[in-house]
Amino acid sequence: MQLERLLKSHFGFNSFRKGQREIIEDVLEKKDVLSMLPTGAGKSLLYLLPGYIFDGSILIVSPLLSLMEDQVEQLKKAGEKRVVAINSFMDPGERSRVLHQLSKFKFIYVSPEILQSPFLMNKLIHMKISLFVVDEAHCISQWGHEFRPHYLSLSEARRKLGSPPCLALTATATEEVREDIKKQLEMKNVVCHIHSVDRENITFIVEPFFTCDEKMERVKELAKILKGPGIIYTSTRAWAENLSAFLMESNQLKVAAYHGGMETHDRLLIQKQFLNGQLDCICATNAFGMGINKPNIRYVIHFHPPANMEAYVQEIGRAGRDQCPSVAILLYNEGDKEIPSLLIEHEFPDENQLIELIQAASLMDKERFLQWLEGYGISSTAKRFIEFQFEQEKMFNREEKTKEQLAIVFQTILNHIQKRKQYKLNKLDEMFHWIVKKECKRRGILKAFGEHLTYKNKNCCTICEATIQPFLNHKKREPDSFFQWEKELHYIFSRVT
């Protein structure tokens, strides 16, 4: 019963959720563990509780600044002061102070990119790291839905730290991705805890439209009539901003846009406003939501379908983390496939660009090339891809390459690009096949993850004749907060006079 006592004293819970105890027991036995639990199932507890038993520190590799900041803030609110997030956005003075007393921290969150820092690694090497945690571990897979090249260097970082036990966490990973995670992290005799991706409390609604204008009107209606709070996902930054402005103007809702192109402090502010209930909904790209701890999100609307099933399951999983009934609504028209197809094309350089990039890299050292690359007209994803591939092909060593060697590098990387592109396009086809197929939506999702539907859900999906009726907001909407403050100020000053 020691685990239950720790659970109660540190986290206030009387019992573990399904699957948690078994995973924690394997972690405490210092086994390599791969855990797939659905969003909202309490994955962070799987390393936090062992942290109070192990002597050393817990190192958590986390992919997003917002995710790290949210988790650190939650721990500090719970009274844990020995927690820190180290990332590229830290104030230099604060980072220096933290690094010089790093051994004092029990829980250390880092981004995969910052872990490449020799100074940070040197500090970690001289500490006792009891557990190496990779959160959102699907990102490590070359076939995962969020390709992060620096994740592929984590096995090397783990070796430098003396190969501590590894805990890889994810909510959505197909069998192919799970095998790649184990391979990339060099996990030995790994114990796998694979739980269903099914979220029984979420109803799936899919609605077709002929035009984008019809979708706009439907989003306006849904945001007005649904119980909130909610998230509306779009495929581009421009659409997130346009939709946010449209809803504020037409519905007088408290709405904000959120995407990766915003300043960091603006993103953190909007995230906090949403978490604190100051916003009715957020119009966001997929940059928002990973690891965000807001249990009462009642709906997730996809104004544009995502590019694959893994992303869809991640995003709809942000609804109903309190286990209360919630709804996922996907709106689509025939032209929606064009945007993700174009985005996939722009994630990689074309053949002419690849030739230019190889020629430039052959004339520069790594630092100069990366500076030059910043001004080159390709996406940030393409830049990360090129940096990783050039490192793999040893483009930055000091040996001059012949034309024949450069030609081999070109063909090797081009093959990688073509293979990766085709894989993503196949995933996109799978997503749109699921959208239009006249099959139970829940059954289709489970099938994509190698599972089978074994029960009948009461309010399952559009195909099973589910409706949004249970999710409508029957309460009268409160007046806009601006007028409440104006009325309050008038009341205060009238009493003073």
Q: Tell me the pLDDT tens digit for each residue of 26-63.
A: 999 999 999 998 776 678 899 999 999 999 999 999 87
Please tell me which of 10-19, 88-97, 309-318 the model is most confident about, judged by mean pLDDT.
309-318
> Each residue of 106-155: pLDDT tens digit?
999 998 888 888 889 999 999 999 999 998 888 887 666 656 677 778 99
Specify if 251 maps to a domain: yes
Task: State the Cα–Cα distance between residues 306 and 283, nearest whole angstrom.
Answer: 14
Residue with tokens 């917002």: 66
Specify if 23 maps to a domain: yes
**Percent of the chain at pLDDT above 90?**
53
**Same domain flag for 82 and 180:** yes
Specify if 278 maps to a domain: yes
Identify the pLDDT of residue 443.
96
Closest CA to 53 of 130, 167, 126: 130
**Same domain flag for 47 and 125:** yes
**Same domain flag for 476 and 380:** no
Domain edge (last residue) among 148, 177, 194? 194
Give strand pairing partners of 204.
Answer: 328, 461
**Same domain flag for 362 and 308:** no
Q: Residue 267 pLDDT more than 90?
A: no
**Same domain flag for 43 and 179:** yes
Q: Residue 202 pLDDT more than 90?
A: yes
Residue with tokens 């306006």: 220
Instruction: Work out the pLDDT band at 463, boundaries 50, 70, 90.
Output: very high
Q: Residue 325 pLDDT more than 90?
A: yes
**Same domain flag for 141 and 168:** yes
Residue 497 tokens, joined: 């006079």
Task: State the Cα–Cα distance between residues 243 and 262, nearest whole angstrom.
Answer: 16
Residue with tokens 């609504």: 329
**Same domain flag for 352 and 336:** no
Q: Residue 492 pLDDT more than 50?
A: no
Task: State the Cα–Cα distance between residues 408 and 228, nearest whole angstrom.
Answer: 55
Identify the pLDDT of residue 483.
41
Identify the pLDDT of residue 488.
45
> Are 71 and 62 a contacting pair, CB within 8 Å?
yes
Residue 312 tokens, joined: 């869809």
> Are 157 and 115 a contacting pair, CB within 8 Å?
yes
**Same domain flag for 109 and 164:** yes
On the 0-12 / 13-18 / 19+ scale of CB atoms within 10 A, 145 is buried
Task: State the Cα–Cα distance between residues 225 and 203, nearest whole angstrom.
Answer: 16
Identify the pLDDT of residue 479.
44
Helix (H, G, I), strand (E, B) or coil at 148: coil
**Same domain flag for 322 and 360:** no
Give strand pairing partners of 59.
Answer: 108, 132
Specify if 214 maps to a domain: yes
Q: Residue 69 pLDDT more than 80?
A: no
Give strand pairing partners of 284.
Answer: 233, 258
Task: State the Cα–Cα distance between residues 333 and 208, nearest whole angstrom.
Answer: 6
Please tell me which of 24-33, 465-474, 483-492 the model is most confident about, judged by mean pLDDT.
24-33
* DSSP states along 168-222: EEES---HHHHHHHHHHTT-SS-EEEE-----TTEEEEEEE-SSHHHHHHHHHHH
Residue 490 tokens, joined: 């008038």
Closest CA to 342 of 307, 375, 376: 307
Specify if 414 maps to a domain: yes
Domain edge (last residue) among 194, 215, 234? 194
Residue 172 corresponds to which amino acid? T
Instruction: Work out the pLDDT band at 437, boundaries 50, 70, 90.
Output: very high
Give strand pairing partners of 301.
Answer: 232, 329
Identify the pLDDT of residue 147.
62
Specify if 259 maps to a domain: yes
> Each residue of 216-251: pLDDT tens digit?
999 999 999 999 899 999 999 999 999 999 998 877
CA distances from 284 to 108, 133, 249, 290, 419 (A): 28, 28, 17, 12, 29
**Same domain flag for 249 and 379:** no
**Same domain flag for 170 and 216:** no
> Each residue of 347-393: pLDDT tens digit?
899 999 999 999 999 989 888 999 999 999 888 888 888 988 898 89
Identify the pLDDT of residue 66.
66
> Each residue of 150-191: pLDDT tens digit?
777 899 999 999 999 999 999 888 888 899 999 999 998 899
On the 0-12 / 13-18 / 19+ scale of CB atoms within 10 A, 96 is exposed
Specify if 379 maps to a domain: yes
Give strand pairing partners of 107.
Answer: 58, 83
3-class SS letters over 342-372: HHHHHCCCCHHHHHHHHHHHCCCCHHHHHHH
**What value does the mean pLDDT take over residues 288-303?**
86
Identify the pLDDT of residue 496.
44
> Are 424 and 145 a contacting pair, CB within 8 Å?
no
Containing structural domain, residue 356: 347-427
Helix (H, G, I), strand (E, B) or coil at 468: coil
> Are 240 and 308 a contacting pair, CB within 8 Å?
no
Task: State the Cα–Cα distance between residues 211 and 207, nearest whole angstrom.
Answer: 12
On the 0-12 / 13-18 / 19+ scale of CB atoms within 10 A, 249 is exposed
Q: Residue 497 pLDDT more than 50?
A: no
Q: Which residues contact 100 (CB under 8 A, 6 or more apart)?
A: none
Domain holding 130: CATH number?
Answer: 3.40.50.300
Identify the pLDDT of residue 143.
64
Domain count, the chain: 3
Please tell me which of 16-20, 79-83, 254-258 the model is most confident about, judged by mean pLDDT.
254-258
Residue 479 corresponds to which amino acid? P
**Same domain flag for 332 and 377:** no
Residue 232 corresponds to which amino acid? I
Identify the pLDDT of residue 15.
87
Identify the pLDDT of residue 26.
95
Per the document, the length of the chain is 497
Task: State the Cα–Cα distance between residues 289 and 287, nearest whole angstrom.
Answer: 7
Task: State the Cα–Cα distance between residues 139 and 162, nearest whole angstrom.
Answer: 23
Mean pLDDT taken over the chain: 87
Specify if 378 maps to a domain: yes
Task: State the Cα–Cα distance between residues 425 and 444, nearest whole angstrom.
Answer: 19
Q: Residue 484 pLDDT more than 60?
A: no
